Structure 1
Amino acid sequence: MDWKLELVSVPVADVDRAKEFYTEKAGFHADHDHQVTDELRFVQLTPPGSACSIAIGTGMPQAEPGSVRGLQIVVADVAEARAGLVERGVEVSEIQEFPWGSFVFFSDPDGNGWALQQIPV
């Protein structure tokens, strides 16, 4: 039986600001944005080509905004992915080379930390 990670909660302080960052700057797709009740809002966003999404919102149990580190997305070409982020206004690190891959790092407006990894071939 396959176990597939489908959704990761990312704690944010301002849902609209985070949604704008992830869709307009990081290039994620907005799958759902539902205001279930006055207190509960659920927003699901998916990186291009990914089978796993992130959830942001209000009224859900979550960690402190900005407290998630080490979120990682694998890309075919880290230089191209980095250039796209820079073009859309994301502050992103220079490419860092390690024996296990090439990486760039960035954070959302709350400080949640992301890495893009190109796996060596």
Structure 2
Amino acid sequence: MDWTLEVVVVPVGDLDRSIAFYRDQVGFELDHDTVNEHMHVAQLTPRGSGCSIVIGNLPSQNAMAPGSLHGVQLVVADAEAARAELIGRGVDAGPITVFSEQDGGTFFGFADPDGNTWAVQQIRARADRPLIPHDARQRFGAEQEA
């Protein structure tokens, strides 16, 4: 049986501010932003990822204090380029640290406006071997539009 991790709840204090941060500064795609009399929930997905984040005000999302999520890890093929992109969008990204010369040993981090922290790991192999093949992403996008 396959088990896939598809959503991580990120506890935030201000949904609109967080949507703007993750969409406009970090570059996640806004999948949906649902507001009704019972809730305000948004789902955002990093480009190339099969896992999304969800922010909102449902009871399960309010179980953690804003800013209490630490160390969620993103993976990129080029840490320097990713860090430069974030800095260019106004994100206070930390310095790049090389723990090992092996692929996967290079990291940097950043925090969202509430203090949730993210680790960004460089795995150069992702440039040639993404977890989700590019053609599959294109097919999925075409199915969504149909």
Of structures 1 and 2, the one scoring higher in RCO (CA 8 A, sep 6+) is 1
Residue of structure 1 in register with 2:58 after alignment: 59
Which of 103, 107, 110 is the matching residue for 2:107? 103
Letter in 1 for 2:32: H
The CA distance in 1 between the partners of 2:13 and 2:38, in whole Å, is: 14
Deviation at 1:39, TM superposition (A): 3.6
**Is the 2:43–2:53 Cα contact (8 Å) retained in structure 1?**
yes
Deviation at 1:58, TM superposition (A): 1.2
Letter in 2 for 1:30: L
Residue of structure 2 in register with 1:22 after alignment: 22
The CA distance in 1 between the partners of 2:59 and 2:79, in whole Å, is: 33
Percent identical among aligned pairs is 51
Deviation at 1:51, TM superposition (A): 0.4
More strand by share: 1
Residue of structure 1 in register with 2:120 after alignment: 116
Letter in 2 for 1:96: T
SS of the equivalent of 2:70 reads coil
> Which structure's CA Rg is the greater one?
2
**Is the 1:39–1:58 Cα contact (8 Å) retained in structure 2?**
no
- Relative to the length of structure 2, the TM-score reads 0.78
SS of the equivalent of 2:54 reads strand
More helix by share: 2
Equivalent pairs counted in the alignment come to 120
**Is the 2:109–2:119 Cα contact (8 Å) retained in structure 1?**
yes
The CA distance in 1 between the partners of 2:94 and 2:32, in whole Å, is: 30
Structure 1 runs of 4+ aligned residues shifted over 3 Å read none
The CA distance in 1 between the partners of 2:94 and 2:42, in whole Å, is: 27
Task: Flag structure 1 segments of 5+ consecutive residues without an equivalent.
Answer: none
Per-residue CA deviations over 1:8-59 (Å, capped at 9, x if unaligned) read 0000000000000000000000001111x32411100001111000000113
CA RMSD of aligned residues (A): 1.3
The CA distance in 2 between the partners of 1:41 and 1:120, in whole Å, is: 37
The CA distance in 2 between the partners of 1:65 and 1:30, in whole Å, is: 20
SS of the equivalent of 1:70 reads strand
- Relative to the length of structure 1, the TM-score reads 0.94
